[in-house]
């Protein structure tokens, strides 16, 4: 499901789960195109069961991780079963936004927001890293003096 995440405080990546399960499936039944198609069918049916149980329990089903214009078809497929929200790293969209004509523009802007956030975060951590450089240098010099005088 292209980076699908079942959201509940600690996300469980369906992609990671799918890869793990596929590896086990291939280990048990051998690797062939037919086995792959069978696995995909079973995994897809399992996700549909998860959608139905989530909806029946009145829980939100939120998808996140690698959400982009390239995943719109998958998101719409999930929405056809059950989806309340989907999210990029920084922006949460209501599932109904998938029917908007300009959703691709919204997702493009979400990528831009994330890029700006990461650039700002990088600069912030650079400042934090450098703010103590002078103090560290001074303390290292003191420590070296103390070490030479046997005061450590």
Which among 108, 110, 72, 78 has a CA at the least distance from the CA of 91? 110
CB neighbours of residue 61 within 10 Å:
21
Predicted structure pTM score: 0.60
What is the mean pLDDT for each group of 10 consecutive residues in the chain (152 residues)?
Answer: 41 60 84 84 85 90 83 88 87 92 90 92 92 90 83 64
Query: In 3D, which of 121, 60, 59, 61 has the Cα closest to residue 90?
Result: 121
Phi/psi for 63 (5° steps) reads -110, 135
Per the structure, the count of domains in the chain is: 1
Note whether 83 and 59 are within 8 A (CB).
no
Domain ranges, residue 99? 5-148
């Amino acid at each position: 499901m292209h980076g699908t995440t079942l959201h509940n405080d600690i996300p469980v990546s369906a992609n990671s789960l799918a890869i793990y399960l596929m590896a086990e499936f291939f280990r048990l039944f051998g690797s062939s195109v037919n086995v792959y198609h069978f696995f995909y069918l079973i995994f897809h049916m399992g996700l549909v069961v998860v959608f139905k149980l989530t909806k029946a329990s009145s829980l939100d089903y939120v998808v996140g991780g690698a959400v982009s214009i390239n995943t719109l078809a998958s998101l719409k497929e999930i929405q056809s079963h059950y989806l309340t929200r989907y999210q990029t790293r920084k922006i949460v969209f209501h599932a109904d936004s998938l029917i908007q004509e300009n959703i691709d523009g919204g997702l493009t802007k979400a990528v831009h927001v994330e890029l700006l956030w990461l650039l700002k975060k990088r600069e912030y951590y650079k400042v934090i890293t450098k703010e103590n450089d002078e103090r560290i240098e001074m303390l290292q010099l003191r420590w070296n003096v103390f070490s030479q005088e046997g005061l450590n």
